[in-house]
Structure 1
């Protein structure tokens, strides 16, 4: 598979220089992207190393805005998360809904990965499209050890989303949702 990936990358480079001809560079690019995201989901460190060594854009996004780092964190692939971070992947990147790798790790209960992501330079109060923070996720899902760590990093546990939910309230089991229409 790694040899095939190297061949595809070389072919894509050649196709970019050559006149329009077969194979289709867009199809090759799409296939490479599929391999890249699949490697992140599975935690295939050697495959990710091939992408990194070839200079592949680490913050490439799929149709939902997911990066390889977001996918690796969500799927519990700690070695892949570490490898991507060490290679320069953006830990603060957000998907189309504004969720980060840290939010995904907290949601899935990946405590070790969440702690690693908290060690990056991202703001602990970064918000998603719904106005929620990583601390709110930690409160909602009762990840109290992560809530304490986020607080120590400077997260505002009393910051509220548009519905009035805060990390502190969520940790206490208080959940506010939109009024019925």
Structure 2
């Protein structure tokens, strides 16, 4: 038994790496209440976990609006991409369909047309997964429906691939396809 334990003294603080891991755990689990204390302890909000995700990406992707707000309020950078595929928190919530978190990230200044390493945007992701409300919010925030990824796909072509006529109509109303005749 360690000497401090036998004397009733508190155990020493965990190493800095453990505190950093606690930030990732708090973000992943939606423990917004832990974020300020970890920040006061000097934990780096922009650090990435072993999979390359920041705390903001973890909080938003796991559906915690409160934790996402706490991180943003403490200065977490809204557009820091993961180190694997270059996805941002905005891209993650576009994939998951978390509208309130998407609106929070947009309000915090998330770059609506930021691209990941495959050239994909949040609009393309939301379209691919059929999240109509997210698509509409991104278009309202200025997302460019004409952008194409490195494979040549646009949000419109992805909606077509999915057979999502409703999203095709939404995207067409934002930017009609070229080559159509007005009748």
Bigger radius of gyration? 2
- TM-score by shorter chain over 0.5: yes
Could you tell me which residue of structure 2 aligns to residue 116 of structure 1? 104
Shift of 1:54: 2.6
Partners of 2:82 and 2:88 within 8 A in 1: yes
Task: Tell me how many residue pairs correspond in the alignment.
Answer: 153
Could you tell me which residue of structure 2 aligns to residue 24 of structure 1? none
Taking structure 2 as the reference length, what is the TM-score of the superposition? 0.77
- Structure 1 segment 1-181 matched on structure 2, within 5 A: 8=13, 28-96=15-83, 97-173=85-161
Q: How far does the alpha carbon of each residue in 1:38-64 deviate from its partner, in whole angstroms, 9 at most, with x for none?
A: 010111122112112233221111122
Moved more, 157-166 or 44-53: 44-53
Measured in 1, the distance between the counterparts of 2:150 and 2:125 equals 15
Shift of 1:174: 5.2
Partners of 2:19 and 2:43 within 8 A in 1: no
Task: Structure 2: state its 5+ residue gaps.
Answer: 1-9, 164-183
RMSD between aligned residues: 2.0
Partners of 1:144 and 1:171 within 8 A in 2: no
